[in-house]
Structure 1
């Protein structure tokens, strides 16, 4: 009898280990986990060392049992994965497929306890009582602290309805949860921020994606960069890669659906505390952007990026770095009035600031792409640096802020700054040399010459 019980416990432990590794290889995780995807694509046959996946954090409880035990667990308990004859490698049995309706199959839940080593497993077990899940992701703030809320992805849309409409309401370990579909959560945040039009669409995209790495998105973007639209004249494009240096990080600019430049929103870094919001503007009042930019440029060395929607009683001012308490106070004291109206200044909320920084990056990317397209074949590498004007790269001084670039380096060196013309508007404000500047730099010769730009590699 004792042996039978031990066998049952062994089988249950093996099932847990196999299920965890199945999660690593699942359609819902593999193409969105940069490290796993790198392992998966490293060899043509897609074998991944068992020793590697067995060392992951969530496999910690199985480590004392050894890699041969993990190989046995996969052979006996997994229908989705296969192990090689040596028992050293594992791979999927089927091709990776892009998941459908992930957003619609996901829910938001809040009021969970503080994190400990067992919480992830307890959360997964809790959601499994309502139906099979693909993933339960604990939401974290910028400092990686658990926000006491999760996004859970069920395998069925029907399970979402059953979960959010459950009576009594779902409770976790005695605490009633705030629950809703991920769609409803997104809509709630959009309403709270008063977002409409493109801003609302961008916010929804931010929540529906929520991933820094996406193998399907990157593959589509690469294809877009290579393919020309049939039946249409090809618009001028950069002859080299274009990068945007934004808020201290370097982001690759891709060709968008409209033929212009765009960045993947998950690549845009979030710098908390770099945006201030003003409220209390009189309805119909129009803010003179130069009245804001001039004193702030003198203080900070760079003019800020301003967002002011016609008819709105509030606006946002974005800086190139996080502000100190002293700098926040400086803004409040320097600009107590806008458009002859007393306004109240505050540091923007996290969600609002994230969206604003994405909009800033997209605006800069479009202008940078157009500017780089005008440079032609003079460049091996084009580096676009937001907020830095007139730097020297490879002893070639290149033009100032957001201008139509001359077709040759010789012409560019001859072009006086006073004759430069705007390439595009900056955000929703009229263009000016004080508007969130973007500069293009050219490095001649081989790739290593770009080193003087001191690009910072994104940490994904």
Structure 2
């Protein structure tokens, strides 16, 4: 290869790069002033009110994506003058541009939003690792064009305080027919990954339904928790009215015996069904029995003549009253409160638990 050939080849490469840059400048500026963006761009909407729609190129080169292509006003002007769409009009002083009066701007209202949605396709399946750039997508969708715009869908990560790509885009086509052509293609792949395609309208309805179902489940959980809280409050209120004269104290069992609460209850015979609580653990020599009805302890005491036969052991009974009775009522309420709290924690966490040496009802 001669030096002349290398120079010629170099010039061809530079010319191709220059042409590519010009096409990107045209595409970007026409996007800014296009049917999709301009009606929605609050900044540009305010700017075009000031000078009969004209905006200086000094202002335009402050836009990031245009500035990334070139900040040389002469380069931008040269590119725009080669545009064949007729959307952009260059002022005679070569210092400002505007959307051509021959292309009336759509009125941004609910009708426009609805009409735009009907020609928009939702596409999912792009990598979320940051490797996909907007320029890549704009170039990729050319084969299915023309299109008005490609919108990357982002989310905000609260922890990193950065935006992330959801892996999905919205492609706005100029007509419903063009959108339908793309939607009805058999297979659409991006770098060997098949893309999921839906009408944007259908996607929005699906998400709306998911949100409503999620909200309904949340409301159901809330109502269930409120019901359980109310039931607990009712139980607490009922406990305030717990009758007195319901406790018996027993003692005299052998230390370390195998007697259990079930054995204590069985020894009550005909009164077992009236047993509400037994405060006793295996191996102990004494404990407390609570009955359901007021002054029932006296009936049991009289009937059993102050004796309780537990397995092969004779236990002594006595009535519980005064400060001792108040203390037992307090212990019983605290035990019930702990049981309710533990049950509430299990409901909320979805996990069970084990509570050693827990007193229980008969």
TM-score, with structure 1 as normaliser: 0.42
Mapped to 1, the partners of 2:43 and 2:67 lie a distance apart of: 18
Whether the aligned pair in 2 keeps the contact of 1:280 and 1:344 (CA below 8 Å) is: no
For 1:176, the equivalent position in structure 2 comes to 194
- Displacement of 1:136 in angstroms is 0.9
Mapped to 2, the partners of 1:187 and 1:12 lie a distance apart of: 40
- Displacement of 1:277 in angstroms is 3.0
Q: Helix, strand or coil for the counterpart of 1:141?
A: strand
**1:131 matches 2:149:** no
Gaps of 5+ in 1: 200-275, 292-332, 347-460
For 2:107, the equivalent position in structure 1 comes to 98
Mapped to 1, the partners of 2:211 and 2:170 lie a distance apart of: 21
- Residue deviations 1:323-346, cap 9 Å, x none? xxxxxxxxxx79949xxxx97589
Counterparts in 2 of 1:118 and 1:82: CA distance versus 1, 3 Å: farther
Whether the aligned pair in 2 keeps the contact of 1:279 and 1:343 (CA below 8 Å) is: no
For 1:21, the equivalent position in structure 2 comes to 29
**1:161 matches 2:168:** no
Which stretch shifts more, 172-181 or 9-18?
9-18
Alignment of structure 1 residues 301-312 onto 2, 5 Å: none
Q: Helix, strand or coil for the counterpart of 2:117?
A: coil
Counterparts in 2 of 1:109 and 1:44: CA distance versus 1, 3 Å: same
**1:58 matches 2:65:** yes
Whether the aligned pair in 2 keeps the contact of 1:108 and 1:185 (CA below 8 Å) is: yes
Whether the aligned pair in 2 keeps the contact of 1:136 and 1:153 (CA below 8 Å) is: yes
- Residue deviations 1:405-431, cap 9 Å, x none? xxxxxxxxxxxxxxxxxxxxxxxxxxx
Q: Helix, strand or coil for the counterpart of 2:77?
A: helix
Choose between structure 1 and 2: higher helix proportion. 2
For 1:148, the equivalent position in structure 2 comes to 167
C-alpha RMSD over aligned residues: 3.7
Whether the aligned pair in 1 keeps the contact of 2:118 and 2:176 (CA below 8 Å) is: yes
TM-score, with structure 2 as normaliser: 0.52
- Displacement of 1:148 in angstroms is 1.2
Mapped to 2, the partners of 1:52 and 1:117 lie a distance apart of: 30
For 1:264, the equivalent position in structure 2 comes to none
Gaps of 5+ in 2: 1-7, 158-162, 231-340, 351-362
- Displacement of 1:287 in angstroms is 5.9
- Residue deviations 1:122-176, cap 9 Å, x none? 1112222112111111111134221111111111212222222211x21111211
Mapped to 2, the partners of 1:278 and 1:4 lie a distance apart of: 67
Mapped to 1, the partners of 2:142 and 2:43 lie a distance apart of: 27
The counterpart of 1:76, out of the listed 78, 82, 95, is 82
- Larger Rg, first or second structure (1 or 2): 2
- Displacement of 1:63 in angstroms is 2.2
